[in-house]
Structure 1
Amino acid sequence: MNQKLKKQNKIKRLIFLILILLPIALFSQIKITGKITESNSRPIELAEAIVLTKDSIAEKSSFSNEKGYFQIEVKSGSYILQIRQIGKSTYTRNLTVDKDIDMGDIQLIEEEKQLQQVVVTAKKKLIERKVDRLVFNVENSVAASGGDALDALKVAPGIRVQNETVSMIGKSGIGLMVDDRLIQLSGDDLVNYLKSISSDNIKSIEIITTPPAKYDAEGNSGLINIKLKRPKNDSWNVTLRNTMKQATYFSDIMGANFSFQKKKISFLADIGFNKSKTIYENDITYNYPSSFWNVYLHNVNNTAFITPTIIFNYKVTDKTTLGVQYIGTTNKPTIYDYSNSIVTNKETGDLENIYTSNGNSKIDYSRSSLNVNGVTKLNEKGKLMTFDLDYLTYKNNKINPFNSIILDQENNVILDNYVINKGNLEIKNYAGKIDFIIPSHFANYEYGGKLSFINTNSAVNLLFYDNIANEDVLNQETQFDYQENTQAIYFSANKKIKKWEFKVGLRFENTQTKGAVFSENITNRKNYSKFFPTLFTTFTVNENNSFSFSLNRRINRPGYDYVNPARRYSSINSYVFGNPFLQPSFVYNAEIKHSYKSIFTSSASYTIGKNNISQINIPQLDNTQTATWENYADYNRVNLDESINFDFNKRWSTVSSIYFYYVEYKSHIPEIEATGSGAGGGFETRHTFTANKAKTFFIEGAYWYDFQSMSMQVKKAPASSLDISFKYFYLDKKLQLTLLFTNILKSDRVTMSYTSNNIDQSFRQYYDTQSIRLSLLYKFGSNKIGVKQRKLGNQEEIQRVN
């Protein structure tokens, strides 16, 4: 009994001691801040500020951001502050720290002769892991060169692009951003937009599995942020590029880029042209009660993109910078569609009917986005305000005429219809947001808000004409207008306590939607207000080991085409239509990670999904194939992932990972089995070799393999892809040549099967991914200050002021 009391007393003392020491720990952190500049007061980015003990042991360090500011938190005591640039100490000062210290402007002065000689070409890392995201440096990738944004996403770690759908491996539902701005497009419109962005204009891709509260809550699995390149300081550059691609057909992509930065002005202009021809094939089977259908689809897509981009920034004062960004796209593709369906009797095996259709679709679409942004420094301690005003307009006018014929077993024509599908779509989005960054002694805070207004107007005209009877069979018009308005506010706080770092946030989004079908006099309204909490914490055990844990809630709102009830026919007996009563889906994510020396990263996550959205194929007993979108299931998913980012030596490095998942679901709709479970997994490995001492020749090989899997009742066969690429630099690296072989084994085919409405169906799809791509890129220009040419391995480790 006495031992039990002693044990209880020890526990009480321990709790008391924690309660006493915790406030001391919380308030004992003291901040050292400052701004690092050149002799002409120009801010220096990526200078390293290091705090050392009296024994010259590094205590903490930080890198200056693009404004030259740095911030370091330490305990009270005596230290040595060093400022290093390109690994060289250029400033040293002894400090006695007992309260917050603002060092003001720290000028680094070197002789002009030295400046002209300081050029460092250290290789930037391909993959970098930050606290809340993984950064894929596209400009350092061999395979990403000479393609488009979709090609760059294909080689990004943890991302899978299949069926021209972008997803995080083992997960579903993501949000895509460009320069921190959510792309308000979905489906084919999103794919076409990504194809219009040259991968040579992309600096990096951020994979954010636990987005902070400042970002939109859209995207069940997180966000993918595409960061475009910006002009270098005190320079002008011209880049000319051309890519030739041979898949089933030949494609040609070319473009030019001009960038300029001097004093207060930063300017970039880019024009891209993309003339390509690709195919899509799908072998489909439907197992009806009395008949068996073999369906073959073949599409040929001819595109001709023109994509202008303009970015302009002006430094109004030392504290305020204003910017404008415009990205446009125009395209007038033509698509040849062909389908052939052979119907046989299940009992006799005899041919019953043959369905054929062929047509040529003509599309005229354009997209323009305009952004006005600003950054204002509110004080000298890192307090900032940023704002963004965005306008997006998107137009898509499509006419899809085709002939549909049905033959009997004697090849007699029993139906001959001429069909015209006409569709007009216009989307407008107005958005504005404001953000504040507030450093303080206790913690660093961020808060802000956003307003977004989306208006979608679409009209579909459908005409069926019977060529045998010479009369209209069906003449239908559907006009659908959809509005979605969202108001959001957020708050987050970040705190470091010794080896711990905490970041908590809360985002509130209030959404109103209105969908109106004028032809049927139907109006559907939805209003919902939701909170989206985030929690992220890291614990650094020692210099080799760290742990992190995150919690968040996310939303996946239906795309505009998901809720449009108009029927879109691909043949006389096959059509897709939207569901105006579709609800948003929600997920709750929890993830724990362990990192060893930033080489090995192990992660385990658990996801709860509610009202999951998916397109459901529902074959009818009258042999009609229909598809629509449904909130069809809730699910629980467990993901396990192990990755490695390792340099075997100075010439050979790898980024590899293996993953597994297990999922259980409960269906909401009668067409899908009530409950079920499934599992899957796969691996990917990418190896980069430096082939010569001059570091001008690189070879990269990549292979991924997805095991046979079962998820949400969909069974997928194994799939894989082998890619090999070569990159060579000529003329002092001004000329770059890249040769890429993709899907060499032609094994990247999506083969899947499932049962819907008690009818078994299977699909085998091919998206023309086997290709040879040759790209040339030539750069010329002037960099007046040599020190600005450095490319450090830690260049991405710029710490924000907070």
Structure 2
Amino acid sequence: MPLFVTMLKVSTLFFLLICIPAMGQEYKVSGHVKQTDGTEVAFANILLYKVSDTSFFKGAASDEKGFFSFDNIIHNQYLIRASYIGNHSPYTMVEVNSDLDIGPLYIDNKGQELNEVVVVSQKPSLEQKVDRLVFNIENTALSDSDLWDVLKSTPTVFVMNDEITVKGERGVQIMINDKKVNLPPEDILNLLSGTSAKGVESIEVITTPPAKYDAEGGTLINIKMKKNLVAGYNGSVYNRYSQGVFPRQMLGTNHYFKGKKLELSVNYSFTQNKILTNYTDITNFIEEGEITDTWTSDLEVIYRSKKHNTSAFLDYAINDNNNLSFSALATLTPSYLSRDFSDTKIQDANGSNTSGFLTLNDAKFESINAAFYLDYKHKFNDQGSNLAVNLHYTHYDYDKDQELETDFYDSNRVIVGENNFNTFNHQHTHLYSVQSDFVSPLGESANFETGIKYALIDSESYITQEGFDREQEGIEPTEDGLFLYDEGILASYASVDAKWNKWSLKSGLRAEYTETKGDYSHTEEKIKNHYLEFFPTLFLQFNPNRKHRFGFNYKRSIIRPSYSKINPIQVFQSNSSVVEGNVNLKPSFKNSVIFSYSYNKDYTFELFYRYHRDIMRLLTFQDNESKLLRFITNNVDRELAYGLDFIYRKDVTRFWDTYFLSSYFYGAERFTDIQSQNKIDQGLWTLLLQFSNNLTFLEDRSLTANIDFSYVSPVITGNSRQEFYNEWGITLKKNVWGKKGTVTMGVTDVFRQFKLRNTRKYDNQFNISIYKPDARIFSLGFRYNFGNMKIRDNYKSKDTDERDRL
């Protein structure tokens, strides 16, 4: 009943907002394309550029009779040019302040014989918008890497312990074409490392997402993919081989097509990996303030995986005012095998070996994750008013079976006992959502936007653990358990963006009502929760002249517990470590403020403040009585961070551009110790450095290089102190056979310096974790392009839902 009442109230607000009249001034520019002999040119490319900075603004294709039109063009001065098969018309400057027919654009009809095609590689460029940083990678050395490598080279993005952060801030959400990727964090790496970046135009780092986006999470990283802008077809096939300790392989293909009404892009890749990772856990168990014994566990993990990634985007123009779109994103993992072998040595307080145990953990993982989107968009008029409706469904199945065999040995390494058991874990989740958005201009330089959304999540998790034999107090393996979890979210928002004189504004308010219900087979008590929260956003920018820019951003957001973290089932990873869910997890709320100043677009300073209440962290605690390491997700009382960022980006020469980031901030977290219940405060000043150089060589600019360096000084996360790390990487790309072939080569972690060391030392806790991945990877790739090589690309953005909390 509360949900129905809230839906009624929000729906009423939405329809009141949607009735605001459209008062905008956007215009239509039309014309037709002819050859100099008067013949009409069908399917010619027509491109529109802004006069102010000659940046590309919009593109279209002429119809069978040579006619073309651009809709929703705001008042400004533009350059327009038509081209067809290597011939083009002169640039024509037009000033748009009403509907405009520019008449014919004439293309020279003289045939051309192309003996050689020269490709000009573009260097990565950065564009600072009012609410996001756009990193363009197309036609660079990075474009033939995988998405994981591209993200590690993206300005402001750092990867720590296989977790994506933005300037040290965790909880980053990944989107593809504005659609959130619905994968657990541990699977994000597998998806991105198995997907080629060739089909990517740019990476958007949205540090303070506007009200249109879900309030879930904080920073968004939006991977914008290609689709054709003009009529025709092209495609490519590629192969990328990588070598660390073991080899890795990625094969794939991309296809793009655009007709008069239909646009289609299809992408597929297959990856086969074998990866080595090493861990060391050192636990000093304590009694009455003294170390009684030290357990040192050296773990070697070998992963073998096969994965299929595919995506498809289809647009169909029903007529000038109605458009239908279908999108699908799918990841199939038919085989993911891991073999973990650990040797745990136990020493007494004097450092003498007393005993230990060997553990072999063979695990098999299978999953399917498929998301489908259906979009309909209707334009009410040529001024820009439109209504969009989106339907979404995600199906996610996860199955993991593991067999653990433990052999105990004495001080002479003679086997004295064993403990073998099996674990079967299955999770099935369905996500549904429906969303509607309405956009209308307000005058000549403002827009109003509002929308409503309902999402439903249905999740079921089942586990069976057989054969476990351990009698210590506090060890309660779940032998057989079922956990059901349902969540419903109703949201609405309204926002306004405007430009006047030298100011830009984007402001909005989002309301979200949430109901959750959990049912665990081992308890009769139901888990229920419901809450209504409001999330304001504000983006303000002032440009007094071309050299100076001032900005202010404010955002409030929420992070809800993921379906797996709230699961109370206790799963053993070895005989001495256990991962536990937490049904008492609460949603966390974050407020962030950023003041910025840019000089000459090359120098940017940002003062930021972030306060995150009840932030969720995966905490590691040692149980000194049961001699056990417990990995538990819990609400940390608060995270506090404030500091200064400095960003420098410059085209030093025609062949060299550089980017430098320095972020110096104080980060502190307060958490409750699981045993003593004491409040623990930990804080530290941290320095993040990121340095990237992009170089172009040869007269035809067909050879490009990207060199990256990153450094992170000690940082506090949860109840851990993470020591410093740094990493170098280099990528080369050479165009061959004109535009038809590219060869890439790269090395990550050139000097083998990447290693993460985490220490937890307070009260009766003293343990260390060391993560040593196989980070130095050599890669060699080749791509062959075919089809209409004159096709230009555009990119598609759509609304998303919260597919990231499985």
Task: Answer yes or no: same fold by TM over 0.5.
Answer: yes
Matching residue within 396, 403, 421 for 1:419: 421
Aligned to 1:558: 561
Correspondent of 1:610 among 609, 613, 624: 613
Q: For 2:653, what is the secondary structure of its paired residue?
A: coil
Aligned match of 1:164: 162
CA distance in 1, matches of 2:100, 2:111: 24
Q: Give the CA deviation at 1:547.
A: 0.6
Residue type of the partner of 1:654? T
Quote the sequence identity (%).
23
Aligned twin of 1:47:
48
Query: Is the CA contact 2:558–2:587 (under 8 Å) kept in the aligned structure 1?
Result: yes
Q: Deviations over 1:67-123 (max 9, x none)?
A: 83454468xxxxxx554449997545678xxxxx53155556222538989999573
TM alignment of 1:311-330, pairs within 5 A: 311-330=313-332
CA displacement, residues 684-740 of structure 1 (integer Å, 9 cap, x when unaligned):
111111110101111221111112334555322221111112110001121000000
**How far apart, CA to CA, are the structure 2 residues paired with 1:465 and 1:132?**
52
Partner of 2:4: none
For this pair of structures, how many residues does the alignment match? 737
Counterpart position of 2:299: 297
Structure 1: how far apart are the matches of 2:111 and 2:592?
49
Q: Deviation digits for residues 450-488 of structure 1, max 9, x if unmatched?
A: 111111111111012569xxxxx9771111111121111
Match of 1:665 among 654, 665, 669: 669
Q: Higher mean Cα deviation, 473-482 or 546-555?
A: 473-482
Match of 1:269 among 263, 266, 269: 266
Matched to 1:251, the amino acid is R
Q: Does 1:111 align with 2:117?
A: no
Corresponding position of 1:340:
343
| Partner residue of 1:445 out of 437, 444, 448 | 448
Code of the residue aligned with 1:523 in structure 2: it is K
Question: Do the aligned partners of 1:185 and 1:559 also contact (CA within 8 Å) in 2?
Answer: no
Return the offset for 1:359.
2.5
Distance 1:250 1:186 in 2: 25
Structure 1 runs not aligned, ≥5 long: 1-28, 51-57, 75-80, 96-100, 468-472
- Asked if structure 1 preserves the Cα contact closer than 8 Å seen for 2:119 and 2:735, the reply is no
Give the structure 2 partner of residue 498 of structure 1.
501
Identify if the C-alpha distance between structure 1 residues 82 and 364 changes in structure 2 by more than 3 Å, giving closer, same or farther: closer
AA at the equivalent of 1:146: S
Q: Counterpart in 2 of 1:13? A: none
User: CA offsets, 1:401-436, max 9 Å, x none?
Assistant: 020122222434343111101011111111121212
In structure 2, give the amino acid aligned to 1:191.
L
Q: 2:480 matched to 1:461?
A: no
Match of 1:145 in 2: 144
Q: CA deviation at 1:497?
A: 2.1
Indicate if the aligned counterparts of 2:301 and 2:340 stay in contact, CA closer than 8 A: yes
- Equivalence map 1:22-421=2 (5 Å): 31=25, 33-35=27-29, 38-39=32-33, 47-48=48-49, 50=51, 63-64=57-58, 68-72=70-74, 82-85=78-81, 90-91=91-92, 101-104=97-100, 106=102, 109-111=105-107, 113=109, 121=120, 123=122, 125-147=124-146, 149-220=147-218, 222-289=219-286, 290-331=292-333, 332-346=335-349, 348-421=350-423
For 1:253 and 1:660, locate their aligned partners in 2 and report how far apart those are by CA, in whole Å. Answer: 38
Note if contact 1:36-1:43 (Cα within 8 Å) is conserved in structure 2: no
Distance 1:394 1:335 in 2: 21
Q: Which amino acid aligns with 2:636?
A: Y
Q: Deviations over 1:572-597 (max 9, x none)?
A: 12110110110111111110111122
Aligned mates of 2:482, 2:158 — CA distance in 1: 35
Of 702, 705, 712, 2:708 maps to 702
Moved more, 704-713 or 280-289: 704-713
Q: Could you report, residue by residue, the CA deviation over 1:291-327 in whole angstroms, capped at 9, with x for unpaired residues?
A: 1111111110000012232222211111222111122
Structure 1 CA distance, aligned partners of 2:143 and 2:94?
Answer: 44
Partner Cα distance (1:215, 1:395) in 2: 26
1:384 partner letter: N
Instruction: State the partner residue of 2:489.
Output: 486
Which letter does structure 2 place at the counterpart of 1:760?
F
- Quick one: distance in 1 between partners of 2:103 and 2:702? 36
The one-letter code sitting in structure 1 at the alignment partner of 2:109 is K
Residue matched to 2:779: 773
What runs of 5+ residues in structure 2 fail to find an aligned partner? 1-22, 34-40, 61-68, 83-87, 287-291, 471-475, 798-806
Equivalents in 1 of 2:683, 2:299: separation in Å? 31
**Is 2:587 aligned against 1:584?**
yes
Q: 2 CA distance for matches of 1:445 and 1:31?
A: 13
Look up the match of 1:541.
544
Contact 1:49–1:64 (8 Å) recurs in 2? no
Higher alpha-carbon deviation: 664-673 or 750-759 = 664-673
Secondary structure of the equivalent of 2:753?
coil
**For the residues of structure 1 that align with 2:520 and 2:362, how far apart are their CA atoms?**
28
The answer (yes or no) to whether the contact 2:124–2:137 under 8 Å persists in 1 is no
How far off its partner does 1:124 sit? 5.9
Structure 1 window deviating more from structure 2 (768-777 vs 320-329): it is: 320-329
The answer to whether residue 602 in structure 2 is matched with residue 595 in structure 1 is: no
Quote the Cα distance in structure 1 between the aligned partners of 2:617 and 2:412: 40
CA contact (8 A) 1:284 1:761 kept: yes
Q: C-alpha separation between the residues in 2 aligned to 1:390 and 1:254?
A: 29
Distance 1:139 1:555, change over 3 A: same
Question: What residue is the counterpart of 2:756 in the other structure?
Answer: 750
**CA, structure 1 residues 162+666, in 2 after alignment: closer, same or farther (shift >3 Å)?**
closer
Q: Check the 8 A contact 2:667/2:715 in 1, yes or no.
A: no
CA contact (8 A) 1:280 1:768 kept: yes
Contact (CA 8 Å) 1:36, 1:68: kept in 2 or not?
yes
Q: Distance between the aligned counterparts of 1:62 and 1:432, measured in 2? A: 34
Q: Which moved more, 1:712-721 or 1:432-441?
A: 712-721
The match for 2:516 is 513
Question: Which secondary structure does the structure 2 equivalent of 1:229 belong to?
Answer: strand
The structural deviation recorded for 1:195 is 3.4
CA distance in 2, matches of 1:582, 1:668: 14
CA contact (8 A) 1:204 1:227 kept: yes
Q: CA RMSD in A?
A: 2.9
* Structure 2 residue identity aligned to 1:213: A
Deviation digits for residues 312-367 of structure 1 (CA, Å, limit 9, x no counterpart): 22111112221111222211111101111111111x32222212110211112111
Given the superposition, is the C-alpha separation of residues 125 and 675 from structure 1 closer, same or farther in structure 2, using an over 3 Å criterion?
closer
Instruction: Assess if the C-alpha contact under 8 Å between 1:463 and 1:474 holds in 2.
Output: no
Distance verdict in 2 for CA 1:351–1:747, change over 3 Å: same
Q: For 1:113, what is the secondary structure of its paired residue?
A: coil
Judging changes above 3 Å, is the alpha-carbon distance between structure 1 residues 189 and 761 closer, same or farther for their aligned structure 2 residues?
same
Q: Which moved more, 1:731-740 or 1:86-95?
A: 86-95
1:569 aligned to which of 569, 572, 577: 572
Cα distance in 1 between the residues matched to 2:358 and 2:119 = 63
Given the alignment of the two structures, is residue 652 of structure 1 paired with residue 652 of structure 2, yes or no?
no
Letter in structure 1 aligned against 2:780: L
Which amino acid counterpart does residue 322 of structure 1 have in structure 2? Answer: L
Query: Does the 8 Å CA contact 2:26/2:384 hold for their aligned counterparts?
Result: no
What's the offset of the Cα at 1:151?
2.2
Tell me the residue number matched to 2:802.
none
Report the more deviating stretch, 484-493 or 115-124: 115-124
1:731: which partner in 2? Answer: 737
Change (3 A) 1:83 1:725: closer
Counterpart of 1:191 in 2: which secondary structure?
helix
Superposed displacement of residue 251, structure 1: 0.9
Q: How does 1:662-701 map to 2 (within 5 A)?
A: 662-669=666-673, 670=676, 673-701=679-707
2 CA distance for matches of 1:33 and 1:44? Answer: 20
Residue number in structure 2 paired with 1:6: none
TM-score (ref. length: structure 2): 0.86
SS at match of 1:230: strand
Matched position secondary structure for 2:228: coil
1:531 aligns with 2:531: no
The equivalent of 1:77 in structure 2 is: none
